Amino acid sequence: MKKLLIETIAFLSVLTFYISPSMAQTKLIKIDGSSTVFPITEAVAEEFQKENTSIKVMVGISGTGGGFKRFTRGETDISDASRPIKGSEQQASRENGIDYIELPVAYDGLAVMVNPNNTWANYLTVAELKKIWEPESQSKITKWSQIRDGFPDIEISLFGPGTDSGTFDYFTEAICGKSGASRGDYTASEDDNILVEGIASDTPALGYFGLAYYEQNKDKLKLVPIDDQNELNGSGPISPSMKTVMDSTYQPLARPIFIYVSAQSAGKEEVRKFVEFYLTNAAKLVEEVGYIPLPAEAYQAALERFRKGIKGSVFASKDKTVGLSMAELLRMEK
């Protein structure tokens, strides 16, 4: 018994003696942020690691706000964002001495959806959407007939993402005019698949979420074309699609999404390599995961911004990214 004990101790001490003093530092790139941008960054990380096996990339999902919280504290190298950085977040980054480079990576469309058995809502105007979703409508607008004359007199049931989501922020800003302004009496879920099931099983339902989820559930949902009553970007109701988002006729429910690269991290070889890989391969990968790529010149411009190390945000200075067309985006980038 005693002998065994001594032997064990001897063996352990020999082993501990040979504990490798911290292995050759493996290179790790830390990314966190929006769940909307996640599929794109994941795709890029997957392809990147196939070519660069010595560099590890981790991509978290903390939401745009949660991601910026970590980013401005210097905990991550890159932050995924489905909206530009906010004033309070810029403040935090200044206080912690974190500079950043802002790079648009894709366009995302929000789709408004109803049940396939809904025969009446063949299009909706932005004003009507506002009437449905604005905070003042809470427990007042409860029937389809209140939205437009001729709609049936049946209860409307609403589905949408929860308040932590960047999609919620964007939709409320684009439709109700203020980020976060929404009625509260709707079924909210962070899991878009639950929204899909909810709308698919409830005839008088209406809801909104990212276009990618509609693409995968076309058979269960009916897409509602949106009329923003602005002749300048296409007249009449327009359905979201790759084409209408790209030519900026599907407005205002299309938005650019971003990655923010910490300027400190951009000095690191592996981060620089990753971001360049991101921007050169984004066009192909973005489409593959169901989003809408920017024009090739936009990626080129972003790449130049990154190489020159131009810091700060051009999009945050504009009040909002609502209705920002591809052409405008390109002009702002340059």
Partner 1 sequence: MNRKALNNFWDKLFKLLGITSISFGLLVLLALIIDVIIDGYPRITLNFFKSFPSRKPEMAGILSAWVGTIWIMVITALISIPIGIGAGIYLEEYAPKNKFTNFIEINIANLAGVPSVIYGLLGLGFFVRYMNLDRSVLAGGLTLALLVLPVIILSTREALRAIPSSIREASYALGATKWQTIRNQLLPAAIGNILTGIILAMSRAMGETAPLITVGALTYIAFLPQNPVIIKDSFPFMGISFQGLFDPFTVLPIQIYNWVSRPQKGFITDAAAGIMVLLILTLIMNSIAIFLRYQNQKRVRW
Binding-site ranges for partner 1 (CB under 8 A): 14-16, 18-20, 22-23, 26, 28, 32, 35, 38-39, 41-43, 45-46, 49, 56-62, 75, 190-193, 210, 212-213, 215-217, 285, 288-290
* Closest distance to partner 1 from the beta carbon of 268 (Å): 17
Q: Which is nearer to partner 1, 123 or 213 (CB)?
A: 213
For residues 190 and 7, give the distance between their C-alpha atoms in angstroms, rounded to a whole number. 56
Q: Which is nearer to partner 1, 36 or 248 (CB)?
A: 36
Residue holding tokens 């999902």? Answer: 61
Q: Which is nearer to partner 1, 116 or 234 (CB)?
A: 116
Q: Are 286 and 105 in contact (CB under 8 A)?
A: yes
Whether the upstream peptide bond of residue 21 has omega within 30° of 0, thus cis, is no
Whether the upstream peptide bond of residue 240 has omega within 30° of 0, thus cis, is no
For residues 237 and 234, give the distance between their C-alpha atoms in angstroms, rounded to a whole number. 8
Strands 226-227 and 124-125: parallel
* Closest distance to partner 1 from the beta carbon of 61 (Å): 5
Q: Which is nearer to partner 1, 106 or 141 (CB)?
A: 106
Q: Which is nearer to partner 1, 204 or 210 (CB)?
A: 210
Q: Which is nearer to partner 1, 84 or 161 (CB)?
A: 161
For residues 182 and 266, give the distance between their C-alpha atoms in angstroms, rounded to a whole number. 38
For residues 35 and 63, give the distance between their C-alpha atoms in angstroms, rounded to a whole number. 6
* Closest distance to partner 1 from the beta carbon of 14 (Å): 7
* Closest distance to partner 1 from the beta carbon of 57 (Å): 7
* Closest distance to partner 1 from the beta carbon of 46 (Å): 6
Give CA 119 to chain center in angstroms.
31
Q: Are 257 and 34 in contact (CB under 8 A)?
A: yes
The CA–CA distances, whole Å, from 67 to 33, 169, 329 equal 4, 15, 23
* Closest distance to partner 1 from the beta carbon of 99 (Å): 22
